[in-house]
Structure 1
Amino acid sequence: MSDPTAAAATTDRTGPAAPEGPAGPDRPAAPGRAFGARLMAPLLLGSLLNPVNSTMIATALVAIGRDFHVGAADTAWLISAMYLASAVGQPTMGRLADRAGPRRVFVAGAAAVCAAGLIGALAPGFALLIASRVVLGIGTAAAYPAAMAILRAESRRTGQPTPRHVLGRLSLAALGSAAIGPTLGGLLAATAGWRAVFAVNIPLALLALAGALAWLPPDRKPVRGAAGAGHGAAGAGHGEKGIGRGEPSPAGPLGSPGAGLFAGALVRTYLRQGLTYLVIYCVLYGFSEWLEQAHGYSPFHAGLVMLPMSVAAACCSLAGARTKGIRAPLTVAALSLAAGSAVFLLLAGSSPLVALLCAGALFGIPQGLASTGNQAAVYAQAPPDGMGAAAGLQRTSQYLGAIIAAGLIGLVYGQGASDSGLHEIALIGAALALPLLALTLADRALRPRRPA
């Protein structure tokens, strides 16, 4: 049996377009060339800027507060401001990528990141520092949805399916960069001062900008009078010259009902992403806080204890990228959330190190599998002319989970992290993992297709 959603994740649902460009009219480009290093280098570099900046600031907050004479409640805005800007910016930039062209949006986002890094590095006051984080959130929000739109367009241009491992690389770039963010931020703050945490974005964004201008394919102009463009799945594939010209939409002959089915499948995917990362962020921030305050670890040693979580997330992301199906990895992710939450209920301030390492590693499994699985589902379910917006909304659901998680941690920890607070976080995780598992198993869009 074959999984229709997984097949669509690796094969364009609408069928291959007539090959164009360097591949020639009769010879489609080889997959290795179509999705080679030149195309992927700027996409990967641009896509890691958002997650690395979301975590890199954590180890610089104390120094920033000391220099500007503000407390923890104020410095927390440096985290929230970027998450809020990213949550709004991801679908907005994705929609702009669908309308104006993904390469243009990618380039504009990289330029905004340069500006944000300069503002933050030179900010004379705390308010301007927050403003730089807002600009940084908007600028970095452009890369991922634009990258997804570019991959879909390249697949249709060359007549080659986007390889699953190529999508997995985007996911791995986000997971890996988020994992090394605190370490990188601490190193920069310790050696060059906290302003280097902002300034480092300038050379990184310039590299992404140069790669985009040199190697990303040019945006294609919309066909004049193409009324079907931008009107959901029913009009997909008819809005761009040379990309999907005259092809059936993902809704196929179903028309509007088909578009409704695809929209429903996407909503379920966003819900799975949001619920999964609500639990993951509760653990990511709550566990590290508990390790320092209740277990007595230094920030450096707490980061080392969290390392198995990052390693497990990276390994599972690679494994998920090589998996043909989507339903099975997402089911394992939900089960791992439940198992990890159960283990957290047994932890205490006197727990041995091996128990802490294993508990963290358990939560790395759903990070990797859910990221690649839901990304593949979005790629399969989104209409071709709406890929950017769909990918942006996927990230928005993730950031909404992070914002809710931050509020929950504040409620359960109160004045400080404790064993009872960690156990409450574990109960929240277990309570959310069960409906998440049911949602995954009941989603018919993820079920393998039965042979006719």
Structure 2
Amino acid sequence: MTEPATAAGTSDKNPQAQQPRFNRRLLPPMMLGSVLNPINSTIISVALIPIGDALGAPPSKTAWLVSALYLATSLGQPVVGRLIDIFGPRRLFLISTGIVGLAGVLGTLAPNLGVLIAARVLLGFGTCGGYPAAMALVRSEAKRTGRDSPGGVLTALAVANQTIAVIGPLLGGLLIAVGGWRATFALNIPLAVAAVALGWWRLPKSGGRGESPQRGRVAAQLDLPGMALFAVTLTSLLLFLMNLHPRDWYLLVITLLAGSAFALRESRAATPFIDLRVLAGNTPLLATYGRALVAYVVAYSFLYGFSQWTEKGYGLSPFRAGLVQIPMFLLAIGVSIWSGRRKGVRSKLLVGALGQIAACLILLTLSGSSPLWGLLLVALVFGVPQGLNNLALQNSVYFQADPERTASSAGLLRTFAYLGSMVASSASAASFGKRADTSGMHELSWIMLGAGAVFLVMTLFDRSLGRIGTSD
């Protein structure tokens, strides 16, 4: 990675001309790697019904295709993020994006639902590296250039993720119309090839802190016991959330025991996997993680619930179900670009919270006989929080996290978001049961409304948000 040379004779009176700029050659692999997860998160929303019809599985079973990816990614994001903090982004980026390609092959050839779920697990682990790697590169470039607030780059990342997240259903519907539901898995093969090629050519080869760590030092920094306890805690919790039922009480017991052991281990480890001592003292960052959880309960309940209802409850084809969400796509991108010019996050989160609540109220008025413009209206309203919340949460973590743990902190943001998505998946499966009908969609809307209200309250009473990006 080269720094732009200073032209001979440049005046000392123009320091901006001498200050190095962000290496824009990094942007293509950063953005492509970071969107691999949202594209696989959203494209499946319109494929659930065709997959269920083809394999004879009801919505309560196909929901595992959603849950499997988030279970794997929730575990993998902070682990891969920590590895990126130690080794640097390049090698983890190449390994993880290569796994995405393998998962694409497995999903395309899957003979049954079980193999398809395994492909989604593999996709979850494979898409873990892109976003933490991108955030680590943003931090390292900020340090190299002396520009501590690379707002334009953070906005570009958020817009790229937002674009893919919202256009995913339309792309999925188009792929299904052309090549069937297997085409939504096959898409990962060319995407992975492109990501590996871009990462190989453009990502810097230096380590996480500019040096190659020794093996013994790396082993100590990895904190393998802490990672294992974290995995057991999160897996048992997510398995409980996937299928809420009193008979699964033992999963909560395992969660509590493993979580207590994890907290004890991390409080005593010299180099903990997740430094709970620092995290516990960083209340603003903890509040951001909490907001991410409830925000994504709403966002993913809408993504999966609304998409399934428009197909089964309203009678649209997968392609037309994707088309209905075009207003959300257009408005979300415009809102992200416009709001990205402003560094503050509190107003974005407040407007995003109100937008979620408004959209949930509109959902409660819809039925199978509603005019098409009603569906377009709710998608349009949802475009506002879709364009604001992701950007604001990402920027919050960037400014609130320990700079030495940027990648792992970014990974934890995604983990909490995926916890929210797991709750959303469980709520969708419980609300719809064997058929995605209107009564189930209304039941899901009440759950979304409750989560949206919690998000609003958490934002209203968090005064620390006002200190982020208050000066240009």
Q: Same fold (TM over 0.5)?
A: yes
- Structure 2 counterpart of 1:104: 91
2:380 to 347, 357, 361: 361
1:66 and 1:337 mapped to 2: Cα distance?
A: 31
When residues 302 and 47 of structure 1 are mapped into structure 2, their CA distance, relative to the original with a 3 A threshold, is same
2:449 to 430, 434, 451: 430
- Stretches of structure 1 that go unaligned for 5 or more consecutive residues are 1-19, 232-255
- Stretches of structure 2 that go unaligned for 5 or more consecutive residues are 7-11, 223-274
How far the C-alpha of 1:360 sits from its partner, in A, is 1.9
- Structure 2 counterpart of 1:221: 211
When residues 101 and 364 of structure 1 are mapped into structure 2, their CA distance, relative to the original with a 3 A threshold, is same
- Structure 2 counterpart of 1:40: 27
1:345 to 364, 387, 390: 364
Q: Which moved more, 1:103-112 or 1:72-81?
A: 72-81
Would you say 1:152 and 2:139 are equivalent positions? yes
1:384 and 1:351 mapped to 2: Cα distance?
A: 50
Contact kept? 1:46, 1:140, Cα under 8 Å: yes
Q: Which amino acid aligns with 2:294?
A: L
1:168 and 1:271 mapped to 2: Cα distance?
A: 22
How far the C-alpha of 1:44 sits from its partner, in A, is 0.6
Would you say 1:275 and 2:275 are equivalent positions? no
1:198 to 185, 191, 204: 185
When residues 68 and 412 of structure 1 are mapped into structure 2, their CA distance, relative to the original with a 3 A threshold, is closer
How far the C-alpha of 1:75 sits from its partner, in A, is 3.7
Contact kept? 2:296, 2:420, Cα under 8 Å: yes
Q: What is the 5 A alignment of 1:246-261?
A: 259=278
When residues 111 and 348 of structure 1 are mapped into structure 2, their CA distance, relative to the original with a 3 A threshold, is closer
- Structure 2 counterpart of 1:174: 161
Percentage of pairs with the same residue: 44
Q: Which amino acid aligns with 2:34?
A: S
2:75 and 2:420 mapped to 1: Cα distance?
A: 13
Contact kept? 1:230, 1:385, Cα under 8 Å: no
Would you say 1:304 and 2:304 are equivalent positions? no
Q: What is the 5 A alignment of 1:10-89?
A: 22-23=3-4, 33-36=21-24, 38-61=25-48, 64=51, 72-89=59-76
Q: Which amino acid aligns with 2:22?
A: A
The superposition leaves residues 278-301 of structure 1 with CA deviations (integer Å, 9 ceiling, x where unpaired) of 012222222223333333333333
Q: Which moved more, 1:416-425 or 1:48-57?
A: 416-425
Would you say 1:443 and 2:471 are equivalent positions? no
Contact kept? 2:46, 2:173, Cα under 8 Å: yes
- Structure 2 counterpart of 1:129: 116
Contact kept? 2:101, 2:193, Cα under 8 Å: yes
How far the C-alpha of 1:162 sits from its partner, in A, is 4.3
Q: Which amino acid aligns with 1:324?
A: K
Q: Which amino acid aligns with 1:389?
A: S
Q: Which amino acid aligns with 1:435?
A: V
When residues 192 and 432 of structure 1 are mapped into structure 2, their CA distance, relative to the original with a 3 A threshold, is closer
How far the C-alpha of 1:183 sits from its partner, in A, is 3.0
1:421 and 1:125 mapped to 2: Cα distance?
A: 27
Contact kept? 1:94, 1:388, Cα under 8 Å: yes
- Structure 2 counterpart of 1:416: 435
For this pair of structures, how many residues does the alignment match?
406
1:289 and 1:105 mapped to 2: Cα distance?
A: 35
- Structure 1 counterpart of 2:313: 294
1:448 and 1:77 mapped to 2: Cα distance?
A: 40
When residues 159 and 223 of structure 1 are mapped into structure 2, their CA distance, relative to the original with a 3 A threshold, is farther
Q: Which amino acid aligns with 2:99?
A: A
For 1:34, what is the secondary structure of its paired residue? Answer: coil
